[in-house]
Structure 1
Amino acid sequence: MSSFIKSVLLDLQDKGNTIEKLFFILPSKRAGVFLKHHLSKIINKPVFAPHILSIEEFVEEMSGLKTVSNTDTLFQLYNAYVDVTPKENQEPFEAFSSWAQILIQDFNEIDRYLGKQNSIFDYLQAIKEIDHWSLEAEQTDLVKSYLRFWKQLKTYYNVFTEKLLNNKQGYQGLIYREAVENLESYIENNAHKTHVFLGFNALNTCESLIIQGLLQSELAHVYWDIDDAFLQDNIHDAGLFIRQHKAKWNYFKTKSFNWITSNYSEKKNIEIIGVPKLVGQAKYIGQILERIGSENSDLKNTAVVLGEENLLIPVLNSIPKQIDQINVTMGLPLKFVPLASLFDLLFSIHKKPTTKYYFREVIDLISHPSIHSLFETEKSNYLSDISSYIQKNNLVYISTNQLKKIADKSVHNIIDLLYSSWENNPKTALSNCLGLIHLIKRNNSENLNSLDLEYLYRFHSLFNQLTELNDNYHYLNSIESLYRIYNDLLQTETLDFKGEPLEGLQVMGMLESRVLDFETIIISSVNEGILPSGKTNNSFIPFDVKLQNGLPTYKEKDAVYTYHFYRLIQRAKNVYILYNTEIDALKGGEKSRFITQMEVEGIHKINHTVVSPNVPVVEKKLKQISKTEAIVSKLKVLSSKGFSPSSLTNYVRNPIDFYYEKILGIKTFEDVEENIAANTLGSVIHNTLEDFYKPLEGKFLSIEDLKNFKLSIKKTVTHHFKDLYKDGDFTSGKNLIIFEIAQRYISNFINSEIEHLKAGNQIKILAIEADEKIELNIENIPYPIHLTGKVDRIDQFNGVTRVIDYKSGKVEQNKVEIIDWEDVTTDYDKYSKSFQVLCYAYMMNQKKRIELPIEAGIISFKNLNEGFLKFGKKESTRSKNKDQLITEDTLKKFEIELKKLIIEICNPNIDFIEKELD
């Protein structure tokens, strides 16, 4: 394969040019490296390298102006805006910056295409005055402000550009316009230079005039890289611009047009592959490279061209290990660097001045990998102390002072840097961010690798740049405005990779591929909305106005990418085109029109496939844990302490859960309760009722007692919420509703008790929160077995003893009824409530705390209208007859099932087998 650059150099050499004296102008800096490389291959003696510039550098040299960065341009435009706008109509900088970036882009386009600024701005103003939306005869303040903006555009432009020119500065468009103004002068002063323009396609008006001027003065050669297949096809966008140059430039009416090639029609291996999602494409690129690498170890003629920049890291992680030479031309945007997430978290918590921070933001920030190690000590990490304190005390919001009280003084400076209020002051914010970077570097100097240090350096430079802008312009008056500019810089700044540009695999973006040729090309993300980008219109200038004034529209922008895409394929022998098969709500999901166009052309035989990840079918196996000696030993200890009814029902529900909780001692992670949890509500109700009824043990209830209880509900409930919910707030929002619900439940329950007494019933309290432990004699188990539990209430209702279990949730009557005794220890969902109340009744009977027959059941606070839900034994599901008295026979039948369950738990030959839960 003879590359375009090499062909140009050979042609120049054949025509007798002294190459080292030529002045090369290329579309990009990257192409200059390859030009030097090819030059070294065709010369046979040492020479000085010719002068090589990118088109932007060349135009800047012609203009005599210095390029201003995008951010500097924004601030200087605001300077002009403030000068011409009355103070009462001025927008703050953060509001201005939201629309000013679009305005700068429009100024850029107008200047690069030599648009008539005044006529364009006057035309825009006239359009807006005609079609403003107000139906009122008199214009509203909003409409006046809107029209004032369009009227002032011309003034903004004139004042802004005048200031820049006075300072010998310019944005890209202004530099191009000035370069055209200086063209005649440049030609006079550089009559001895021969310029070579190569690889250009879409030229703006300024570039076109400059190149034509130098050609007409016989100071330049121009080499196009276009294939005959695109040039001769009048509707093919790949040849759109070069067809126009060939037809409209006077120079080509008498001079030859270099060059038209016919490489595209040569035989090629083209594969089009549909792959789901970005990561799928990255992994498949890795597979392609592995296949290519096994056939050819030298990959310097292979390029991976990424349609989307955020695919860079996944692709780098997918490159096979055996490929050890990689050159990454495209930079990694700083927004994808891990450190960016740290400063995003910082800005998010400081956007509004506050003295307290949401607990998740606190934990997220100090848990960040860049920060976590700062809290490290020889013995532990203060992060653990802070996290556990927040969880235990249920702190939904936490202040800087509270954090300092938890942690040691040695980390107070870190806490200050992270959490001391920025007070909406950008200067404080920048100082803290820079201080944090220094602290991370100093504390982790031994653990940081070269990449980590580079991250820190780039962010240090970014914040220094922001500090300089803030000191020079004083327009950053809030954290919001600082964050907006920080974000803009983050989008544009890149972390450049260091590599050998001429060796190994090349990884680049589409624009970096200009003028370069490779034998094997892998192009990713060839989807509509990406390649090409489609009808995006980030401009104040309407489509028709752009057409009228020769400004580029989305059609021209699409044609630019069409040319790049086809030019890549032009000389390649192996082409792999990947597209995302999954529909994306924002970017679409269909394959690009480029793919359809190639298929319709019929020039090449195309192998089109759709692939998907090889996802292994993982057979779900239920866990099974054998009872080792250690587990049996643990069961003996557990048996001695006592099985509770809830632990036994937990085993019935799923033996594996019982194993995790009781054998391994794994507790459920207790997160901060942002809203009061159901178990907290239940505990508050239980504890409040215990406070009320405990003093009445052995006594009959009276209406007076119950009325006194009602007077103390709020006070007692508040006390227990503070005890259980710690520093959590229950004075507003959902928590206030739950607090009120707790009071309502208790009040309703007491009211129901009063109604019972008023109806002539007698209620005697026998025990409240009765905590009991009994021993079970089980023949097959050689060690003692105990059953333990706490009964919420035992009372006598008109002489009938009742064992009562409180439930804050909703329980229906059918949940405390059974048909077959065997089911009570096998079906958790239907019979767990029955099992629990029977356990309590059985324990109380064994301890002689009650005399049979009795009743046992549940009072559901969410189903209080149903009253006391009694346990009952039925003959069938349809049977209305049920035995609700618990007798000796009832407890004997329950005892059989209870012992069977405990024997199963303790039997060393029966494994803990996981149940498949719905």
Structure 2
Amino acid sequence: MTTFIEEVLHDLKKKNTDFSKLVFILPSKRAGVFLKYQLTKINDKTIFAPQIISIEEFVEDLSQLKNLSNSELLFHFYNTYKLLTPEKDLESFASFSKWGQILLQDFNEIDRYLIAQNQIFDYLNAIQELNHWSLQNEKTEFVTNYLNFWNKLKTYYYQFTSNLLNEGIGYQGLIYREAVENIESYIQNTNKHHVFLGFNALNSSEERIIQEFLQQGLASIYWDIDSHFINDDLHDAGLFTRQHRTNWSHYKTHSFKWISSNYDSSKNIKIIGCPKSVGQAKYVGEILAKLSKNDPNLRQTAVVLGEEELLLPILNSIPKTINTLNVTMGFPLKSIPLASLFEQLFSLHKKNNTSFYYKDILKILSHQMVQPLLKGSNTIIKYIQENNIVYLTAKDLKALTKDYKAVIVLLFENWTTNIQSLLNTCSKIIFKIKSELDNDKSNNQLELEYLYRFNLLFNELNHLNTKYNYLTDIESLHAVYKELLSSETLDFKGEPLDGLQIMGMLESRVLDFETVIITSVNEGILPSGKSNNSFIPFEVKLNNNLPTYKEKDAVYTYHFYRLLQRAKNVYIIYNTEVDALKGGEKSRFITQLEIEGIHKLKHTIVSPNVPVIEKTLTTVIKNKDIVERIKIIAKKGFSPSSLANYIRNPIDFYFEKILGIKETEDVEETVAANTLGSVIHNTLEDFYKPLEGQQLTTDLIKKMQSQCTERVRFHFSDIYKKGDIEKGKNLIIFEIAKRYISNFLNKEIEVLKAGNTIKIIAIEVENTIEINIPNIDFPINLTGKVDRVDELNGVTRIIDYKSGKVEQNKVEVVDWEAITTDYDKYSKSFQILMYAYMMYKQNNIQLPVEAGIISFKNLKQGFLKFGKKESPSSRTKEQSITETTIEAFEIELKKLITEICDINTDFIEKELD
């Protein structure tokens, strides 16, 4: 394959050109490296190297102006804005920056395309005058201010550009306009021949400059365009070169160089649909692994990324067999871990609150860059979770640690003071992290590079703040920080002329490769689609020959097809997954390739190799260690809830009781159901415990009602720790707890007023009994706490409170054998029968008795009594618990415990719905 650069150099050599007297001007610096390399191959003797520069460098040299960064330009522009705006109408820098950036972009376009300034600004003002929506003679203040803004655009522009020119600085557009003004002076003082090569879309300034050099005989220009594109009036890849060939007077007397015919040559083009960005990266790795078998160095292979965010996944997917690669694109600083830390800190402190939301704190404390600084952060996190603390101050956080107070101060204090102090704090955080990484013996070169780049960034912010002093609050600082961050990249070092090349679409200009892999070829990415971040309306852009989205799409079209021109193997990969903003829809470029029909395309959809995993239920085989653990549990006592847990799923019992695994504790931001239940239980215990052995009276219950709010609040404080119950959902739950207890007490009064008698026998009574089971040679105990035992009209009742909703059918049994196997139907019955069984065996009650549930969500049903039915449809049921009931339950209970303790019966997971 002969590259475009080689073709140009061969043509110049044929003309016996003295390369040392040439100035090569290229679209990018990157192409200059390849040009120098090809020069060494084409020349067989030592020569002085020609000057090789990018178009931006050349134009800056012509203009004699220094290019400023976007951030510093914004500060300069704010200087101008302050001079021209009365103090009463002056916006803050943070507010100004939102529209100032857009206006700077418009100024840039106006200058790059050499638009007559007076004409376009007067035109814009006139349009707004015509379009304003007030039909009244007297304009409102809002309309007046709106029109004044458009009227001032011209004044802003002239004052701003005048200030910049006086200081010898400028933005890109102004530099281009000044370069055009200085062409004549430059030409008079040079004798070198200029070679422009590889250009496509040119702004008006570039066109004027190049044409002037051509007219003076001081330049040659080489286009890289294929006949297929330039001869097709509808093909956007040739849009700009067609215009240049038609409109430039130079081509009335000179030939157009060059129109090649490489695109129609045979190519192996594969279109691959791949899910998600990471899926694309992994598939690129597979392609490279196959290619490297035939060419280990992959010198003629390029991976072109449609999205810069794919760089790290791609780098992590490169096969280990590829040892040489070069990354020509920078990795954006905004995508590295340190950026997320500072973003979290800015977001936290911008709220200007004295206390911080616990989730925001946990994000920072658990951040990978903070962990080395706060080795005791897990203790702080655990304390927050255990005490349900939703909001904390910096003072609270400092009180939770002895050794890391200085780090807490850096992260959570002094962020709302003056900007200089805030910037110093950011720098201190960087140096604190660096100090920890320096002490760490592991390889932290990449993390240290991150820190270095962020240190430079905050130094730049410090410089801007010191020079201009416009950053008055954290919001304005955050805005400028994000602007700086968005333009900063972390550059990689590599061998530019050897091995695999990884680059962005713009870095591919002028370069040719035999094998090209292009990723993210989706609509909204390639091409990027419509965007109108401008004050200049679409129609005005058309009338003034300013670029619109159509021209921007044509630029992407050219770059895409130029990659295909000389390539032999092309892999075009797109994301098949539908995304809210991008992805899912393949690019129009792919559709265009299909419609053209020039090349035979192989279209495939790939997906990760996901093995089919048949769902198998976990089985844990009991061994001696497990049996020993069961003996310890048995001696301590099986509770109704633990046995019910086994009935529900034996594997859950194994994890919880045998292994002792508990669920991860988290901050209970909203009161949980079990907390609500505990508050209700404890409050009722306070009320009824002192009345054991006494008859209830309405006066006693009314006294309870008067104490309800105070006791509920006390128990919320005790159980919910420092959680807030004064607002939001928690306040509602607090009121629900009071309402449940109040309704229950009212129900008690109704029962008494109906002529019934209630005697409290026991409240929250602990039961522990030993149970003898044949074939088990170690002690087994049962334990449990009964919420309430009373006598209603002389009948003993065993009562269990439930804060949730329970229906009558949940406390009825049809099949005794199912009581230890069917959790959903019989778990409530199993629990209350076990309470009755333990109390009977402990001689605390005399049979017959009643047992049941009081459901606070179903209080209208009253006491839900246990019942034994002969069949599900039977209307009659035995609700008294007799010796027959106890004996039937005991048989099933012993079967259940025998199963748990039997070494030959494994823990087998149940398949739950």
Q: 1:801 — aligned with what?
A: 796
Cα shift at 1:558: 1.0
Counterpart residue type for residue 434 of structure 1: S
Counterpart residue type for residue 195 of structure 1: H
User: Structure 2: any 5+ residue segments left out of the alignment?
Assistant: none
Secondary structure at the aligned position of 1:371 is classed as coil
Q: 1:311 — aligned with what?
A: 310
Q: 2:754 — aligned with what?
A: 759
Is 1:440 paired with 2:433? Answer: yes
Q: 1:285 — aligned with what?
A: 284
Farther-moved stretch of structure 1 (106-115 vs 12-21): 12-21
Secondary structure at the aligned position of 2:144 is classed as helix
Counterpart residue type for residue 402 of structure 1: D
Cα shift at 1:59: 0.2
Q: 1:517 — aligned with what?
A: 512
Cα shift at 1:620: 1.2
Secondary structure at the aligned position of 1:882 is classed as coil
Q: 2:327 — aligned with what?
A: 328
Tell me, in whole angstroms, the C-alpha distance in 2 between the residues paired with 1:615 and 1:136: 68
Counterpart residue type for residue 657 of structure 2: K
Counterpart residue type for residue 493 of structure 2: K
Give deviations 1:632-660, integer Å, cap 9, x for gaps: 00000111000000000000001011001
Is 1:875 paired with 2:862? Answer: no
Tell me, in whole angstroms, the C-alpha distance in 2 between the residues paired with 1:666 and 1:107: 64
Secondary structure at the aligned position of 1:788 is classed as strand
- Aligned pairs for 1:631-670 (under 5 A) are 631-670=626-665
Alignment RMSD:
1.2
Farther-moved stretch of structure 1 (471-480 vs 842-851): 471-480
Tell me, in whole angstroms, the C-alpha distance in 1 between the residues paired with 2:143 and 2:869: 78
- Aligned pairs for 1:557-568 (under 5 A) are 557-568=552-563
Counterpart residue type for residue 405 of structure 2: H
- Aligned pairs for 1:722-871 (under 5 A) are 722-871=717-866
Farther-moved stretch of structure 1 (460-469 vs 397-406): 397-406
Q: 2:263 — aligned with what?
A: 264
Secondary structure at the aligned position of 1:698 is classed as coil
Indicate conservation of the 8 Å contact 1:353/1:421, yes or no: no
Indicate conservation of the 8 Å contact 1:225/1:259, yes or no: yes
Q: 1:357 — aligned with what?
A: 356
Counterpart residue type for residue 281 of structure 2: A
Counterpart residue type for residue 665 of structure 1: G
Secondary structure at the aligned position of 1:372 is classed as coil
Change (3 A) 1:585 1:361: closer
Cα shift at 1:133: 3.0
Is 1:629 paired with 2:595? Answer: no
Indicate conservation of the 8 Å contact 1:816/1:872, yes or no: yes
Tell me, in whole angstroms, the C-alpha distance in 1 between the residues paired with 2:666 and 2:466: 44
Counterpart residue type for residue 476 of structure 1: L
Farther-moved stretch of structure 1 (598-607 vs 329-338): 598-607
Change (3 A) 1:547 1:701: same
Q: 2:687 — aligned with what?
A: 692
Farther-moved stretch of structure 1 (459-468 vs 797-806): 459-468
Indicate conservation of the 8 Å contact 1:350/1:421, yes or no: no
Cα shift at 1:332: 0.2
Indicate conservation of the 8 Å contact 1:353/1:424, yes or no: no
Indicate conservation of the 8 Å contact 2:226/2:263, yes or no: yes
Is 1:429 paired with 2:422? Answer: yes
Is 1:618 paired with 2:618? Answer: no
Cα shift at 1:885: 0.5
Is 1:250 paired with 2:249? Answer: yes
Give deviations 1:754-788, integer Å, cap 9, x for gaps: 11111111100000000010010101211111000
Tell me, in whole angstroms, the C-alpha distance in 2 between the residues paired with 1:588 and 1:771: 62
Indicate conservation of the 8 Å contact 1:352/1:424, yes or no: no
Counterpart residue type for residue 551 of structure 1: L
Cα shift at 1:424: 5.7
Indicate conservation of the 8 Å contact 1:226/1:567, yes or no: yes
Change (3 A) 1:136 1:678: farther
Change (3 A) 1:911 1:136: farther
Q: 2:879 — aligned with what?
A: 884
Is 1:710 paired with 2:709? Answer: no
Cα shift at 1:705: 0.9
Secondary structure at the aligned position of 1:890 is classed as helix
Tell me, in whole angstroms, the C-alpha distance in 1 between the residues paired with 2:372 and 2:316: 25
Counterpart residue type for residue 769 of structure 1: E
Indicate conservation of the 8 Å contact 1:23/1:52, yes or no: yes
Secondary structure at the aligned position of 1:374 is classed as coil
Counterpart residue type for residue 198 of structure 1: L
Tell me, in whole angstroms, the C-alpha distance in 1 between the residues paired with 2:735 and 2:97: 48
Change (3 A) 1:418 1:760: same
Counterpart residue type for residue 407 of structure 1: T
Cα shift at 1:527: 1.4
Q: 2:390 — aligned with what?
A: 396
Counterpart residue type for residue 759 of structure 1: A
Tell me, in whole angstroms, the C-alpha distance in 2 between the residues paired with 1:384 and 1:203: 58
Indicate conservation of the 8 Å contact 2:576/2:583, yes or no: no
Give deviations 1:155-206, integer Å, cap 9, x for gaps: 111111011001000000000000000111111111x111111111111110
Secondary structure at the aligned position of 1:370 is classed as coil
Farther-moved stretch of structure 1 (81-90 vs 436-445): 81-90
Tell me, in whole angstroms, the C-alpha distance in 1 between the residues paired with 2:24 and 2:221: 10
Q: 2:6 — aligned with what?
A: 6
TM-score (norm 2): 0.99
Q: 2:490 — aligned with what?
A: 495
Tell me, in whole angstroms, the C-alpha distance in 1 between the residues paired with 2:734 and 2:763: 23
Indicate conservation of the 8 Å contact 2:437/2:444, yes or no: no
Tell me, in whole angstroms, the C-alpha distance in 2 between the residues paired with 1:425 and 1:900: 73
Q: 1:237 — aligned with what?
A: 236
Counterpart residue type for residue 127 of structure 1: I
Cα shift at 1:139: 2.2
Counterpart residue type for residue 353 of structure 1: N
Tell me, in whole angstroms, the C-alpha distance in 2 between the residues paired with 1:723 and 1:606: 71
Is 1:451 paired with 2:450? Answer: no
Q: 2:174 — aligned with what?
A: 174
Change (3 A) 1:339 1:242: same
Counterpart residue type for residue 427 of structure 1: Q
Tell me, in whole angstroms, the C-alpha distance in 2 between the residues paired with 1:138 and 1:644: 83
Q: 1:379 — aligned with what?
A: none
Counterpart residue type for residue 437 of structure 2: N
Farther-moved stretch of structure 1 (602-611 vs 458-467): 602-611
Counterpart residue type for residue 149 of structure 1: F
Farther-moved stretch of structure 1 (75-84 vs 208-217): 75-84
Is 1:586 paired with 2:581? Answer: yes
- Aligned pairs for 1:72-87 (under 5 A) are 72-87=72-87
Counterpart residue type for residue 876 of structure 1: S
Q: 1:186 — aligned with what?
A: 186
Indicate conservation of the 8 Å contact 2:694/2:760, yes or no: yes
Secondary structure at the aligned position of 1:373 is classed as coil
Tell me, in whole angstroms, the C-alpha distance in 2 between the residues paired with 1:586 and 1:837: 56
Tell me, in whole angstroms, the C-alpha distance in 2 between the residues paired with 1:892 and 1:346: 66
Give deviations 1:328-385, integer Å, cap 9, x for gaps: 0010000111111111111121112222111122121111111111123xxxxx1121
Q: 1:418 — aligned with what?
A: 411
Q: 1:103 — aligned with what?
A: 103
Tell me, in whole angstroms, the C-alpha distance in 2 between the residues paired with 1:581 and 1:718: 55
Tell me, in whole angstroms, the C-alpha distance in 2 between the residues paired with 1:572 and 1:554: 28
Out of 354, 377, 386, the position equivalent to 2:380 is 386
Counterpart residue type for residue 211 of structure 1: I
Tell me, in whole angstroms, the C-alpha distance in 2 between the residues paired with 1:120 and 1:584: 39
Tell me, in whole angstroms, the C-alpha distance in 1 between the residues paired with 2:11 and 2:289: 37
Indicate conservation of the 8 Å contact 1:238/1:560, yes or no: yes
Q: 2:36 — aligned with what?
A: 36
Q: 2:116 — aligned with what?
A: 116
Indicate conservation of the 8 Å contact 2:575/2:583, yes or no: no
Tell me, in whole angstroms, the C-alpha distance in 1 between the residues paired with 2:624 and 2:394: 50
Cα shift at 1:440: 0.5
Tell me, in whole angstroms, the C-alpha distance in 2 between the residues paired with 1:704 and 1:805: 24
Farther-moved stretch of structure 1 (580-589 vs 691-700): 580-589
Indicate conservation of the 8 Å contact 2:437/2:448, yes or no: no
